[in-house]
Structure 1
Amino acid sequence: MSALLTVQNMKTDIGQYKVLHDVSFAVPEEGVFVLLGRNGAGKTTTLRSIMGLWQPSPGSVLFRGTDITGLHTADIARLGIAYVPEDMGIFGGLTVAENLVLATATGVPDDTRLGRIFELFPAIEKFWSRPARALSGGQKQMLAVARAIIEPRALILIDEPTKGLAPAIIDAMADAFAEVAATTPILLVEQNFHFARRLGRNVAVIEDGQVVHQGTMADFTADRDLQERLLSLSA
């Protein structure tokens, strides 16, 4: 399967800190690609570098074969790459409806896509007129993802979507992500391995700012020794 997004030899410094040393991987055109690693390994920095929020040097990011390294974040978003950051990126002082309107190019959400969002996340419709700050943590995460899919996207980057969520909400989120991934590929950063392996088709593991493993999620899930060595996961 050809690659939709290719990261090549990415190195990113943040101030005096060398965070990414050598990150390379390819995201296929279908399914969920999971980026795993311990806390501080460089996963969030990788997503932010892809989105142009931090500039890799050297290294490159190719999207559909075109080098997008150095583009402004807004220009990258216009290419069809959506980003759901770890802090969700929603506007607490605005209503749920206003948050979704702001995520559209025209200011008018498509009724068909809005209906799909209501099916995936019923809380979005239920709390349509409520300020986003009044939502629960799980509901805010649903809103953040809804903003990413309110218009057609070519790829969605999602950072730690299950962090701090209750198990029931995580299960519902997994079902929703699986449905989204049926039509739109996802690059997922996640600490919850059970969630990640339920969704992921392919996986890369980052350790100390470099990719130390790549392969299928099926093979990685079957290798307990590898999980223990790279993620400190015990059987």
Structure 2
Amino acid sequence: MNALELNGIETRIGRYNVLHEVSFTVPEGGVFVLLGRNGAGKTTTLRTIMGFWTPHAGSVRFRDTEISGLHTSVIARKGVAFVPEDMGIFRALTVAENMTLATARGQFDSARLDWIFDLFPALKTFWNTAAGGLSGGQKQMLAVARAIIEPRALILIDEPTKGLAPAIVDAMAEAFQEIARDTTILLVEQNFEFARALGRDMAVIEDGRIVHTGSIEAFAEDTELQTRLLSLSV
């Protein structure tokens, strides 16, 4: 069983067709990477999966269940979480309050919370600190921690390393490797070395269309393909 299947997704925002027959499959387990230039449609793809945008055509299936057209809250209750590029934290609330809002019943599973503190020790240190006072890296840790405070089958993560210092990026990579042991991650990322260290399979989106799918290692070895699709050489 696959974690996620997109088949022929068409998404319009206002007068504009943003996604054009987007199709790809995310296998169960590990990290799947969605690459593309700025404005290619990566974020719109994640937001369509999560139900913020309703596709005008096509199918989104999560573990063999059709979820396209469902409300975002329903999709979340089925076991899908979303970490947006802007992190979406509540700056005036403490770390503890932000985390509490992400729980199902306003209560923590103590073992799971300890696991999260092992992944992101800074969150324990700043537990009673307003989230707006955290560093950029700590805010990103909080955003990811909220997504995993309840067990999830699939996490959509949009540009988690953007603007972060290298040491924080390395810590984030270690955390993602641990999270991916029992949760599938669909990762949108501009930092290819970060993506390559984590990912197994990938897709490239260009102008709202999927133009390449395959293994991330094969893509890393094909400099001509990298240049043609992403204007880079890794």
- TM-score, scaled relative to structure 2: 0.98
Q: How does 1:75-154 map to 2 (within 5 A)?
A: 75-154=74-153
CA displacement at 1:217 relative to structure 2: 1.0
In structure 1, what is the equivalent of residue 183 of structure 2? 184
Post-superposition Cα deviations, 1:171-212, rounded to whole Å, max 9, x if no partner, equal 110111011001111000011111111110100000000000
Amino acid in structure 2 at the alignment position of 1:55: T
CA displacement at 1:219 relative to structure 2: 1.0
Q: How does 1:215-226 map to 2 (within 5 A)?
A: 215-226=214-225
Instruction: Give the unaligned 5+ runs of structure 2.
Output: none
In structure 2, what is the equivalent of residue 37 of structure 1? 36
Post-superposition Cα deviations, 1:48-82, rounded to whole Å, max 9, x if no partner, equal 00011001111110011111110000000000000
Q: Distance in 1 between matches of 2:3 and 2:119?
A: 25
Instruction: Give the unaligned 5+ runs of structure 1.
Output: none
In structure 2, what is the equivalent of residue 46 of structure 1? 45
In structure 2, what is the equivalent of residue 4 of structure 1? 3
2:3 is paired with a residue whose SS is strand
CA displacement at 1:157 relative to structure 2: 0.4
Q: Distance in 2 between matches of 1:107 and 1:211?
A: 40
Q: Distance in 2 between matches of 1:48 and 1:189?
A: 12
Post-superposition Cα deviations, 1:69-101, rounded to whole Å, max 9, x if no partner, equal 100000000000000011111111100000111
Give the root-mean-square deviation of aligned CA atoms.
0.8
1:157 is paired with a residue whose SS is strand
Amino acid in structure 1 at the alignment position of 2:80: I
In structure 1, what is the equivalent of residue 15 of structure 2? 16
Amino acid in structure 2 at the alignment position of 1:217: I
Q: Distance in 1 between matches of 2:210 and 2:233?
A: 21
- TM-score, scaled relative to structure 1: 0.98
Amino acid in structure 1 at the alignment position of 2:34: L
Q: Distance in 2 between matches of 1:217 and 1:16?
A: 34
Name the count of aligned residue pairs. Answer: 234
Post-superposition Cα deviations, 1:34-53, rounded to whole Å, max 9, x if no partner, equal 00000000000000000110
CA displacement at 1:234 relative to structure 2: 2.5
1:3 is paired with a residue whose SS is coil
In structure 1, what is the equivalent of residue 228 of structure 2? 229
Amino acid in structure 2 at the alignment position of 1:228: T
CA displacement at 1:221 relative to structure 2: 1.2
Q: Which runs of 4+ in 1 moved over 3 A?
A: none
Amino acid in structure 2 at the alignment position of 1:56: P
In structure 2, what is the equivalent of residue 169 of structure 1? 168
